[in-house]
A and B are shown apart, each in its own frame.
Chain A
Amino acid sequence: MMMNYFSPFVLPFVLGTFVLLGICVFKYIRWYMSFDRVQRSKVKKNILSLKFLPAIWEAILECLFHRKVFRRNLVLGYMHSSIAFGWFLLIVVGAIEAEVCINGSKPFWVAIFYRFFVHEHPTTTSIVFANIMDALLLIVLSGVMLAVIKMVYSKIVGMRRVTKHVLFDRFAKFSLWFIFPLRLLAESYTAAYYGNGGFMTQALGNLFAPIYHEYVEMALWTMYSICLAVFFVSMPFSRYMHIFTEVFLIFFRRMGVTEGDEPTGFTKYELSACSRCGICIDNCPMDKQLGVQGVQSVYLLRDVRYKRGTEEVANQCLMCQRCSSDCPVGLDLMTIRRQVRTKESALDASGNYSYADNIQAFNSVGRVLYFGGCMSHLTPGITESMIKIFEAVDQNYWYMDKNRTICCGRPLLQQGFLKQAKDLRLKNQSMIIKSKAKLLVTSCPICYQSFTKEYNLPIKVMHHTEYIAGLIKSGRLKLRKDDLKVVYHDPCELGRGCGIYDEPREVLKSVSNLVKAKDEKEKSLCCGFNLGSTMLTMEQQTKVRDAAVESLMYKNPDLIATACPMCKKAFNHATTLQVKDIAEIVAENIIDNGQLTMNN
């Protein structure tokens, strides 16, 4: 019985499958073994918890249906999911077909090469199956067709640019593309003689009928099998490793595993889960505004994975996080970039910060701790307005860095000086804890992200926009509303970095007439002065900034509002419009109690 289902052409496919499985299992186990202690304890803690259920759902949505790709562009989503989900269904339905139509034991390759081995005249069931399989193959072929068109005309899927792949990736891609036309040809050719095809293969087969020859049939099936084998063997070393890896990544992420300071096995999972789709290139300011290519996250991850020179690539980035929010796989691109930027120990020696040792914390029990941040010292309007607001609501405060400021450490961290950044963090942290304040308010989104994500503080941290929004909501702060048209610029670090989009808008709505920018929230453009890059020249920064200003001018506002001293500085001379921080606008519109009584 077994021998009926054997033909020499299946050998490449069978070998390829075993090689693929072997390499994948080997790699996945090895990567898991090199997780660090925190990551492994997370896995052990959560492996049997209920966190698995949403992970399964997410894996189905993302890996099969490609929900996030669909959200970006319908055609692009169709292209990806027709190939991925279509092929998945071809395999599953093929296996069901083999199970239903063949009695008794059979080797696993029969499901793949079913039409070659099963020739009997179609029964109703097998006709239905043949047509379903043909429909699925047609869907996959349409996806491949789109992919081919995308290579020369990427606008069809709404992309400005496609990734420039390395030679090996292209080789793997072509082997993938050839699988499906070869399958169509092989099945049609068999259908020409045996009449066991569906609507598409039979129609094509009838054309082949006059030129049918047994050897040609065998040759076609052999080519199909070899093509599968070539793809399988190249898969673990090419970008197509993302097919399986993304599933594992989703599960690990749901278990709470995150990237650490140093690359571990989890980083390997992330690197391999990148499909190099190039969505991150499309809106990258480095590419879109400056035309700098080859430095985007897709190229960085590829270079790290293949261990090529990466320092130059890693430094050419504003860290605006646009790619992270666009990434359909949700990779932690910023942390991976920081890992590459990490300086060697000789350069990242413990900082020489003993000068900041003797600063005393002010006993601020019951007070609000206000941290302006370095940059706010160059935009004194912001800090003065904050003080005015504190005084208007009779809030006792301690302006922690009024005269002398210790940096929060994030600029150093982003450039890869981890130890020095930690030195600064510890200094600030001990001051904050010693002050015994109940709340920390900061005016700088860079500091805010640092305090919330990198510090380990026992008190609540707020950005001043959150704080002001709270004051307005509780009625402590009374504001005058004017009908100035104001547009809000989302700072990268506050918006994409910390997910604060609504509070600033609420505050602005209560003092002015808020109008929309062309690109908002997750899609807002970087002001170009982000501290993430040291490499950009002033000319380049100005170009990035001008694009952001243009997007803000969409509805002809009277005033540009922002919530970051850095963005304010950047926009200040870029336009004839006034640029103000939210705190400044609020401070100007406070109705003080004296005025209230007069009006009454």
Chain B
Amino acid sequence: MRKFGFSISQTRSIDLDQIDFSCLNELREAVPTFMVCINCGACTATCSAQQFSDFNIRKIKTKLMQGQYEGLAKELEKCMLCGKCTLVCPREVNLRNSIVNMRRILTKKNK
């Protein structure tokens, strides 16, 4: 069977009152441009790691904004830091710096 990239997700809910925004706040401070992202997905489309795997930097961004930090650090290790995403970003988000800082912050949290 061909995979078209669609699947049935498990039902889940995010309790907005319980979200831990600590990582996001720390990232905002380190990389202010992170917040001007418009979720266009250009970074994900050009990503070298994405060509091989289901690595999706936009998805990671969304999860981070929702405070869903679980498994993100491991996922971010797929990044090769080549910098194509930063170059194509129409909003001039410094994605390389975001990724390095996300990894730093998330690794610290998991410790």
A: which residues have CB within 8 A of B?
346-347, 349, 351-353, 355-356, 374-375, 377-378, 403-407, 409, 411-412, 415, 417, 420, 424, 529, 531, 534-538, 569
Contact = CB atoms under 8 A, between A and B. Distances in A.
Contact of B80 (A403, A406, A529, A535): A406
Contacts of B97: 534-535
Given A407-B80, A412-B81, A538 B53 contact: no
B11 interface: no
B82 A403 contact: no
A407 B82 contact: yes
B77 A415 contact: no
B104 A411 contact: no
B94 A415 contact: no
Interface in B53-75: 53, 55, 74-75
28 contacts: A346-B111, A347-B103, A347-B107, A352-B75, A352-B77, A353-B80, A355-B49, A374-B48, A374-B82, A374-B83, A375-B83, A377-B46, A377-B48, A378-B87, A404-B52, A407-B80, A411-B96, A412-B80, A415-B100, A417-B81, A531-B82, A531-B96, A534-B96, A534-B97, A536-B94, A537-B33, A538-B92, A538-B94
A6 to B, nearest CB: 63
Contact of A355 (B46, B78, B81, B96): B78
B88 interface: yes
Given A411-B81, A415-B81, A404 B107 contact: no
Given A352-B78, A534-B100, A535-B97, A375 B52 contact: no
What DSSP secondary structure best describes chain A's contact surface? loop
A355 B49 CA distance: 8
A409 B82 CA distance: 8
Which 7 A-B pairs have CB atoms at the shortest separation, nearest pair first? Answer: A355-B53, A352-B77, A407-B80, A374-B82, A534-B97, A538-B92, A355-B52
A377 B51 CA distance: 12
Contacts of B82: 374-375, 407, 411, 531
A378 B74 CA distance: 27
A346 B107 contact: yes
B108 to A, nearest CB: 8
Given A403-B51, A406-B48, A569 B78 contact: no
Contacts of A377: 46, 48, 84
A69 B94 CA distance: 39
A103 B101 CA distance: 72
A417 B103 CA distance: 11
On chain B, which size bracket covers the interface?
Answer: 20 to 34
- A351, A405, A409, A424: residue with the most chain B Cβ atoms closer than 10 Å: A405
B49 to A, nearest CB: 7
Contacts of B46: 377-378
Interface of B: 33, 46, 48-49, 51-53, 55, 74-75, 77-78, 80-84, 87-88, 92, 94, 96-97, 100, 103-104, 107, 111
Contacts of B103: 347
A531 B48 contact: no
- B77, B92, B96: residue with the most chain A Cβ atoms closer than 10 Å: B77
Contacts of B92: 537-538
Contact of A351 (B48, B51, B77): B77
A403 B87 CA distance: 19
Given A534-B96, A537-B94, A411 B83 contact: yes
A373 to B, nearest CB: 9
A102 to B, nearest CB: 67
Nearest to A412: B81
A353 B96 CA distance: 18
Given A346-B107, A537-B94, A538-B94, A405 B81 contact: no
B1 to A, nearest CB: 20
B98 to A, nearest CB: 9
A66 B53 CA distance: 55
Contacts of A403: 51
Nearest to A374: B82
Contact of B84 (A346, A375, A417, A535): A375
A404 B51 contact: yes
A424 B84 CA distance: 17
B107 A407 contact: no
Contacts of A351: 77-78
A537 B34 CA distance: 12
B100 A353 contact: no
A113 B77 CA distance: 66
A534 B94 contact: yes
B84 A356 contact: no
Contact of B78 (A353, A411, A536): A353
Contacts of A353: 77-78, 80
A576 B109 CA distance: 48
Contacts of A374: 48, 80, 82-84
Contacts of A424: 80
Given A355-B53, A537-B94, A349 B81 contact: no
Nearest to B46: A378
Given A374-B82, A378-B88, A411-B82, A404 B48 contact: yes
Contacts of B51: 403-405
Contacts of B55: 355
Contacts of B83: 374-375, 411, 531
B81 A407 contact: yes
Nearest to B95: A534
